[in-house]
Amino acid sequence: MKLLIVRHAIAADPVEGQRDSARPLTSAGKRKFEGVVRGLKRLDVKLDLLLHSPLLRAVETADLMNALVEGEARVTSLLARAPTKALIEALDEPRVALVGHEPYVSELVAWLVTGERQLARAFPFRKGGVAFLEGEPVPGQMFLASMLTPAQLRAIGKKK
């Protein structure tokens, strides 16, 4: 399978009294991530399944990725916590993207690629960054094809 792991785009700083789950993307965060999506389109990314966390910043990031979705989008609390087997079992389509949060997205990449979650620091994500994995969704058995920053993806998506 082809698996994209995405960290949510740039979100607003916490405001006093606001739940962390209610932090929206900033205007700049949205604009920049639209450029990321253009880059993904240029790379011909198409998705059968888009899973995203229920936190607003991930919901809004997933919404911006809708143009890539040919199947369905699903919300899951499995992306708002450390990765589990249940999350891996949910990867039941050939082309899947996950939109989640640090440190969990790094931990997931480390787990799937090396089999060791504690290597998460070796796979840091920028906000709006994307890791491209391939292979069977089994810990330690996926191949990390590339890990692109949002700036790289925006550059890919720029018109000539």
Partner 1 sequence: MSRMDSISAAAGPQTVECAAVRAALRAHVERARSAEDPTAVHGLRVTCARLEVFLRLARWSVLRGDLRWLRRAASSVRDLDVLLEGESAAPARTEFVDTLQRARESARAEFRSTLEHERCQALLEALENTPQVSVRAARPPFERLVERVRERGEQLTHAPQEFERFHALRRALRRLRYAREWLELDCAAIRALQDELGALNDALVLEAWVERARGAPPDASHAAASPPSDRVQSLSAAALRAWRHARREILEIPA
Stretch that binds partner 1, among 28-36, 73-81, 104-112, 148-156 (CB under 8 A): 73-81
As a whole number of angstroms, the distance between CA 118 and CA 104 comes to 11
Measured between alpha carbons, how far is residue 154 from residues 53, 69, 120, 144, 159 in Å? 23, 19, 25, 20, 10
Please select the residue that binds partner 1; options are 45, 78, 98, 133, rule is CB under 8 A: 78
Stretch that binds partner 1, among 6-14, 40-48, 56-64, 131-139 (CB under 8 A): 56-64
Site for partner 1 in 86-105 (CB under 8 A): 86
122 binds partner 1 (CB under 8 A): no
Cβ neighbours for 121, distance < 8 A, ≥ 6 positions apart: 106
User: Residue 87 is inside which H or E element, if any?
Assistant: helix 85-89
As a whole number of angstroms, the distance between CA 156 and CA 159 comes to 8
Site map (CB under 8 A) of partner 1, residues 19-48, x = contact: x-xx-x------------------------
Chain positions contacting partner 1, by CB under 8 A: 19, 21-22, 24, 50, 52-56, 59, 62-63, 66, 69, 72-78, 80, 86
